[in-house]
Amino acid sequence: MANEEKAVLEVEHLSKQYKKGVYASQDVTFNVNKGEIFALIGPNGAGKTTTIRMIATLLKPTEGDAKIGGYSILTDAAKVREGLTYLPDEAGAYKNMKGRQYLQFMSEMYANSKEQAAEFVKTAEEICKLGDRLNDKIETYSRGMIRKLLLARTIMPKPLIAILDEPTSGLDIINALEIRRMIKELAAEGMSFLLSSHNMLEIEYVSDRVGIIAHGHLLETGKPSELLEKYEAQNLEEVFEMVVNNSEIL
Amino acid sequence: MKFFSLLKKELREMLNIQTVCMLVLIIFMMISMGGMMNKAAEEESEESGKITICDLDDTTFSKAVLHFLESPVAGMKNEVNVIDVTSDDYAAELKKAGVKSFVIIPEGFEKSISEGKQADIIYVSRMSSLAALSNVNAGSEVAVELIGAAVKTAIYQDKTSKGALTEAETKLLEAPLNVEEQTIVANKSANVKQILLYSSLYSRSLFMPLVVYILILLGSQTMINAVSAEKLDKTLETLLSAPVSRMHVLSAKMIAAAIVALMNAAVYMIGMNKMNMNAVIEYPDDFKKTMEDLGLTFGIKTYLLIGVQMLLTMLIALSISLILGAFAKSIKSSQTLLLPLMFVTIVPFMASMMIDVTSLPKALRYLLYVIPFTHTFIATDSIIFGKTALYIGGLIYQVLFLVVCMTVAIKIFTSDMIFTASERVGRFGKKKKAHDEN
């Protein structure tokens, strides 16, 4: 990858306009460094998913650009996709496949050789810890099991950055905790994460830096501890409330 | 009270706007189909009173027969059009007369009767389609019946006045005419009964459109389910964010759906081919050769030409389904989105089974031609009955239609629309404001 010294993800003035004058995301700028967990926080409809979808090359931005590993989502989308993985909110998997078949299929999308694909599957098996259940059809899995499988799929090719939209939504406390720990461990090993969540307490625990987004605008970025200090707040929810209330754009 | 609340809720769920629209479409379809059938029945009724005949015998008796044809029977008066047939090229003679069939009273007609022999009659008709109601030549059939009746009356009056009927005369009264049936297919003619040709081709005329219909139905359902399920499960987002070309994802889906549909079609074709529908009919010894002479046998070329049309139809149906799949908000809505496609499939399917589409009034005919699937439903007719221009025109139209559909499908699949189309529909329907997305 080019420009390893720079931030892994650079987002510059990214905007998405669905119809004239109505922005789902407007002038969003931030970056994510190597091994960093950056979280976009905001309520439903704030523009988190639109921003993430643009970075994941699924939607084309109306204005601005984003670069992953130095490659632009506008001009080098194929290269960008080699450096990222994406886990959508409430995503499913191919129910007719067995867990292992799904991992095999997805590994073939990322790998350049059979050996590499096998290596990816092995990594995923270790991460998801589903054991023999990987031989069962996905339709028999619980929601937590599917999320673990998908998270393992997201991590297995060891991307420059893994984009996780609401990574623990709908999970019970134990499963959610397990996934948060996993994210922290992988970040410590050098993988970068861009998370999105409306669960601000979760984000406070897991992320290195956060970006507060509301009505399509990124209003504030910083480390959770810095933000708590700056706004003299008890938690990120209070920070969010103050940031949104003080914002001129709303 | 509780029951009625439940009933109201269920009706609200089941009787949505799409269902109501479909009911309206079905009513429209039934009225259109009814109209077509009524028109065909009316035409048949009108045709039965129109007799086209050529009198080559030109004797007192043959003239008396013509007069007999004109006289009212059960209050119905026939319109007799006497024509000149100057050659044995019956295809050309039919074209010259501008009719689908005529009857020839040949030279020696009166002589045969006076000698107590069966009188020859030549019945010439054109076979132009395999559709159920397309090969009715009511006027000429009435003419043959009436000529037979006239001959019977003449023999009866003549012979009974001379005393009791002999055994040979009684036999002659049972079958006074020897009808030589000449059937024209495209520009070729053969001495064969049209009903035999139709019977031998009946199974094909029945199952070819059925296979096409199944092909469209299964292909469309497979494709729309594949697209909408991937969208709704968000596996499509996962896949399209991976380092894989969107065109590869799209073409893999198209090819897989086509293979599944073709497998289904093959199973149906083999199954229906094995159903020996012609077992009860006895064909003349040289029937196979007659079929070959008339170009009614299905050779590799015919199957190939039909196959091309089928492939085009399937690809059109798949690309339309792919487009519709992008607009699906749920599995249920994806099935509802398929209904208009099913509607425009069932109309030409039914029409082509019943009526020779080329014989329909201009407006109705062109309306059917606009539906790309029509050209595949009538492909068999077009090929074996020599309607080459119609086949080629249909093929070109289908190719153009496919190009347009594929362009739209590719545009949707390679742009934001694959993710935003259903949201846009939702916004339009509910008039939601901005920030609809998480």
- What 8-state DSSP symbol labels residue B16? -
d(CA A243, CA A214): 9
**pLDDT above 50 for B161:** yes
**pLDDT above 80 for A77:** yes
Decide if B41 is inside a domain: no
Position B41 scores a pLDDT of 66
Q: Scanning the structure block, which residue is given the tokens 């504030």?
A: A220
Question: Mean pLDDT, to the nearest integer, of B101-110?
Answer: 88
pLDDT tens for residues A175-193? 888 888 889 989 999 999 9
- Residue contact A24–B435, C-beta within 8 A: yes
Position A35 scores a pLDDT of 93
Question: Mean pLDDT, to the nearest integer, of B35-48?
Answer: 67
**pLDDT above 90 for B296:** no
Measured in degrees and rounded to the nearest 5, phi and psi for residue B329 equal -100, -15
CA distances from B166 to A207, B110, B170 (A): 115, 20, 6
Identify all chain A residues contacting B438, using CB atoms and an 8 Å cutoff.
44-46, 48-49, 89
- Residue contact A215–B234, C-beta within 8 A: no
Element (H, E) at B191: strand B188-191
- Residue contact A18–B420, C-beta within 8 A: yes
**pLDDT above 70 for B433:** no
* Closest approach of A38 to chain B, Cα-based (Å): 18
The reply to whether B91 and B126 lie within a common domain is yes
The reply to whether B238 and B170 lie within a common domain is no
Decide if B39 is inside a domain: no
The reply to whether B208 and B72 lie within a common domain is no
A58 and chain B: CB distance < 8 Å anywhere? yes
- Residue contact B237–A216, C-beta within 8 A: no
Identify all chain A residues contacting B434, using CB atoms and an 8 Å cutoff.
18-19, 22-24
Decide if B414 is inside a domain: yes
Position B192 scores a pLDDT of 87
Decide if B238 is inside a domain: yes
Identify all chain B residues contacting A19, using CB atoms and an 8 Å cutoff.
434
Interface-testing mutation among A9, A17, A44, A59, with chain B (most B C-beta atoms within 10 A): A59
pLDDT tens for residues A134-173? 999 999 998 888 988 999 999 999 999 999 998 887 778 8
B330 and chain A: CB distance < 8 Å anywhere? no
B425 vs B261: which has the higher pLDDT = B261
CB contact burial B367-383 (16+ within 10 A = b; e otherwise): ebbebbbbbbbbbbbbb
> CB–CB of A164/A194 below 8 Å?
yes
Q: CA of B233: which chain A residue's CA is closest?
A: A92
The reply to whether B71 and B138 lie within a common domain is yes
The reply to whether B151 and B263 lie within a common domain is no
* Closest approach of B192 to chain A, Cα-based (Å): 57
State the CATH architecture for A1-83+160-173+180-250.
3-Layer(aba) Sandwich (3.40)
**Of A220, A218, A239, A237, residue with least CA distance to A228:** A239
- Residue contact A59–B437, C-beta within 8 A: no
The reply to whether B394 and B267 lie within a common domain is yes
- What angle do helix axes B17-48 and B138-161 make, rounded to 10 degrees? 30
Decide if B25 is inside a domain: no
As a whole number of Å, the end-to-end CA separation of chain A is 40
> CB–CB of A144/A175 below 8 Å?
yes
- A47, A91, A109 ranked by CB distance to B233: nearest: A91
Identify all chain A residues contacting B243, using CB atoms and an 8 Å cutoff.
78, 81-82, 109-110
- What 8-state DSSP symbol labels residue B180? E
B428 and chain A: CB distance < 8 Å anywhere? no
The DSSP annotation for B77-134 comes to --EEEE----SS-HHHHHHHHTSSEEEEE-TTHHHHHHTT-PEEEEEEEEE---STTT
For residue B332 the two structure tokens come to: 């249920």
Identify all chain A residues contacting B231, using CB atoms and an 8 Å cutoff.
none
Boundaries of domain holding B239: 201-430
Decide if B170 is inside a domain: yes
B164 vs B398: which has the higher pLDDT = B398
- Residue contact A44–B438, C-beta within 8 A: yes
The reply to whether B230 and B184 lie within a common domain is no
B435 and chain A: CB distance < 8 Å anywhere? yes
* Closest approach of B17 to chain A, Cα-based (Å): 26
| Mean pLDDT score across all residues of chain A | 89
| Mean pLDDT score across all residues of chain B | 81
Which amino acid is located at B182 in the chain?
Q
**pLDDT above 70 for B35:** yes
- B234, B415, B435 ranked by CB distance to A92: nearest: B234
pLDDT tens for residues B254-272? 888 888 877 877 777 676 6
- Residue contact B238–A87, C-beta within 8 A: yes
Residues in CB range of A49: below 8 A, 6 or more apart: A89, A165, A196, B437, B438
The reply to whether B208 and B157 lie within a common domain is no
- B244, B436, B438 ranked by CB distance to A109: nearest: B244
> CB–CB of A35/A206 below 8 Å?
no
> CB–CB of B323/B414 below 8 Å?
no
pLDDT band at B434 (very low <50, low <70, confident <90, very high): very low
Residues in CB range of A184: below 8 A, 6 or more apart: A37, A206
**Of A140, A215, A58, residue with least CA distance to B437:** A215
- Across the strands, what pairs with B240? none
Size of interface A-B (CB pairs under 8 A): 84
What Rg, from alpha-carbon coordinates, does chain A have? 18
Q: In B, residues 174-233, which contact A (CB 8 Å cutoff)?
A: 233
Among B191, B221, B247, identify where a domain stops. Answer: B191
- Residue contact B416–A56, C-beta within 8 A: no
**Residue B393, CB half-sphere, CA atoms under 13 Å: how many?**
10
**Of A91, A89, A31, residue with least CA distance to B438:** A89
* Closest approach of B335 to chain A, Cα-based (Å): 20
Position B428 scores a pLDDT of 46
pLDDT tens for residues A6-51? 689 999 999 999 877 788 899 999 999 999 999 998 887 888 999 9
For residue B250 the two structure tokens come to: 């799209």
d(CA B385, CA B188): 10
Question: Mean pLDDT, to the nearest integer, of B414-426?
Answer: 77
A91 and chain B: CB distance < 8 Å anywhere? yes
d(CA B200, CA B195): 9
- What 8-state DSSP symbol labels residue B187? T
Question: Mean pLDDT, to the nearest integer, of B118-142?
Answer: 80
The reply to whether B299 and B172 lie within a common domain is no
CATH number at residue B175: 3.40.1710.10
Position A158 scores a pLDDT of 92
Question: Mean pLDDT, to the nearest integer, of B321-325?
Answer: 90
**Of A136, A131, A135, A164, residue with least CA distance to A150:** A164
B70 and chain A: CB distance < 8 Å anywhere? no
The reply to whether B225 and B177 lie within a common domain is no
CA distances from A104 to A134, B20, B241 (A): 11, 45, 17
- Residue contact B241–A81, C-beta within 8 A: yes
- Angle (nearest 5°) at CA A167 between A164 and A171: 165
Question: Mean pLDDT, to the nearest integer, of B47-62?
Answer: 82
Among B171, B191, B211, identify where a domain stops. Answer: B191
The reply to whether B264 and B411 lie within a common domain is yes
Q: In B, residues 240-279, which contact A (CB 8 Å cutoff)?
A: 240-245
Identify all chain A residues contacting B416, using CB atoms and an 8 Å cutoff.
58-60
Sheet containing A63-68: give its strands across. Answer: A71-72, A63-68, A9-19, A22-32, A217-222, A209-214, A37-41, A192-197, A161-165, A84-87
User: How many domains, in total, are found in chain B?
Assistant: 2
Among B191, B209, B232, identify where a domain stops. Answer: B191
Largest separation between any pair of C-alpha atoms in chain A? 55
Measured in degrees and rounded to the nearest 5, phi and psi for residue B108 equal 90, 5
| 3-class DSSP string for chain A | CCCCCCCCEEEEEEEEEEECCEEEEEEEEEEECCCCEEEEECCCCCCHHHHHHHHCCCCCCCEEEEEECCEECCCCHHHHHHCEEEECCCCCCCCCCEHHHHHHHHHHHHCCCHHHHHHHHHHHHHHHCCHHHHHCEHHHCCHHHHHHHHHHHHHCCCCCEEEEECCCCCCCHHHHHHHHHHHHHHHHCCCEEEEEECCHHHHHHHCCEEEEEECCEEEEEECHHHHHHHCCCCCHHHHHHHHHHHCCCC
Q: What pTM was computed for the model?
A: 0.80
> How long, in residues, is chain B?
438
> CB–CB of B372/B401 below 8 Å?
yes
A190 and chain B: CB distance < 8 Å anywhere? no
d(CA B316, CA B376): 11
Position B280 scores a pLDDT of 57
> CB–CB of B435/A215 below 8 Å?
yes
pLDDT band at B241 (very low <50, low <70, confident <90, very high): very high
- Residue contact B238–A24, C-beta within 8 A: no
**Of B142, B167, B114, B168, residue with least CA distance to B52:** B142
For residue B427 the two structure tokens come to: 């916004």
For residue B66, the SS3 value is helix
**Of B334, B371, B337, B331, residue with least CA distance to B351:** B371
The reply to whether B124 and B211 lie within a common domain is no
Question: Mean pLDDT, to the nearest integer, of A109-132?
Answer: 92
